[in-house]
Structure 1
């Protein structure tokens, strides 16, 4: 359940970044949405490793 919620939140963050940049450090331009995707992949890999 948590991984699905996390995936939805990160997908929304990527969509918002493309529409209007978040203006966070490292996310100042629309083209920086890939950084959120890389973070999402790393976070999902971490959750898979932590799961029993």
Structure 2
């Protein structure tokens, strides 16, 4: 599951750079780093939850 989530978030960052998603907080191409920060946070939570 974590690998699939990683691929989805990488695709979202690529799409954001090519054509902004126009979501609140993601209106500009330079906002792709916000997706990366979210991805790192999700991966940390996944690591903490796993036994």
Fold-level match, TM-score > 0.5?
Answer: yes
Are 1:35 and 2:31 counterparts?
A: no
Give runs of aligned pairs for residues 1-52 of structure 1, distance below 5 A. 2-52=1-51
Superposed CA RMSD: 0.2
SS of equivalent to 1:43: helix
TM-score, length-scaled by structure 2: 0.99
Shift of 1:28: 0.0
Name stretches of at least 5 consecutive residues in structure 2 with no aligned partner: none
Runs of 5+ unmatched residues, structure 1: none
Q: Between Structure 1 and Structure 2, how many residues are aligned? A: 51
